[in-house]
């Protein structure tokens, strides 16, 4: 605690793209984007290839629940989604879909001594009305769970959580209105678009800069040679 108090947070670099915060909880979207390998420039985003050391381009969702206090009493969870999934959610917001359902479950990492691996679960839903048929003021629900489960491989080589093996360690849920939800994902979509434009055209810019450099280098050398010849002729 003492170390945190001495830390100058104003000088700390943040990769936060957007945040929604209440007096009890928060949801933030953070940059974890990574460019594709030079072997796959048209991919733009890293997709886990060997040349990318298995890295993937992602947006991280962090959620905190401090309704029972801060510090050790705060519940912290996270999940990752890829850029296309961010755009998918944004498109639902942009289109003002009345009902929306997005869910994912990931299991990864080496199993612990009891055979359990890390599990991330996330749900993003929109329900126009409640169970009584009344219009909801906060129709969007975002929930992330972090827990453990036993990994099982499917026929395609992927992994899924064995039935009835999942244990939820932490869970955070937030309710948002249309405006706040749109603000979060509009910022994330815009950030991803800028990232894609940067890396899609970087190779062209590098090539153009290299051509310009070689042209200027030749021009400078021509001037140097001309001045040298002029000096030699005068000396003769």
What digits encode the pLDDT tens for the residues 118-161?
A: 999 999 999 999 999 999 999 999 999 999 999 999 888 789 99
The yes-or-no verdict on residue 62 having pLDDT over 80 is yes
Backbone phi and psi for residue 65, each to the nearest 5 degrees, phi listed first: -120, 110
Q: What is the pTM of this model?
A: 0.79
Burial class (CB within 10 angstroms; exposed 0-12, middle 13-18, buried 19+) of 187: middle
Q: List pLDDT tens digits, range 187-222.
A: 999 999 999 988 887 665 555 556 566 677 777 876
pLDDT of residue 1: 43
The yes-or-no verdict on residue 75 having pLDDT over 70 is yes
Closest-CA residue to 63 (of 213, 157, 176): 176
CA angle 188, 191, 193 (to 5 degrees): 110
Cβ proximity of 176 and 140 under 8 Å: yes
Distance CA 166, CA 157 (A): 20
CATH class of the domain at 14-198: mainly beta
Domain ranges of the chain: 14-198
């Amino acid at each position: 605690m003492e170390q945190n108090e001495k830390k100058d947070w104003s000088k700390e670099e943040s990769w936060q793209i957007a945040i929604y915060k209440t007096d009890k909880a928060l949801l933030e979207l953070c940059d974890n984007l990574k460019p594709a390998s030079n072997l796959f420039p048209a991919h733009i985003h890293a997709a886990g290839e060997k040349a990318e050391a298995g890295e993937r381009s992602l947006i991280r969702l962090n959620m905190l629940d401090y309704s029972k206090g801060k510090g050790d009493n705060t519940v912290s969870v996270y999940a990752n989604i890829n850029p296309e999934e961010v755009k998918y959610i944004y498109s639902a917001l942009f289109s003002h879909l009345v009902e929306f359902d997005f869910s994912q479950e990931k299991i990864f990492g080496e199993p612990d001594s009891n055979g359990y691996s890390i599990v991330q679960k996330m749900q993003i839903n929109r329900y126009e009305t409640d169970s009584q048929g009344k219009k909801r003021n906060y129709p969007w629900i975002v929930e992330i769970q972090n827990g453990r489960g036993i990994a099982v491989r499917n026929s395609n080589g992927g992994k899924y959580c064995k039935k009835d093996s999942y244990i939820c360690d932490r869970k955070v849920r937030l309710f948002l209105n249309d405006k706040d939800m749109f603000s979060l994902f509009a910022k994330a979509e815009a950030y991803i678009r800028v990232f894609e434009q940067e890396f899609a055209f970087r190779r062209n810019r590098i090539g153009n800069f290299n051509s310009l450099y070689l042209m200027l280098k030749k021009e400078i050398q021509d001037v140097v040679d001309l001045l040298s010849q002029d000096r030699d002729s005068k000396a003769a």
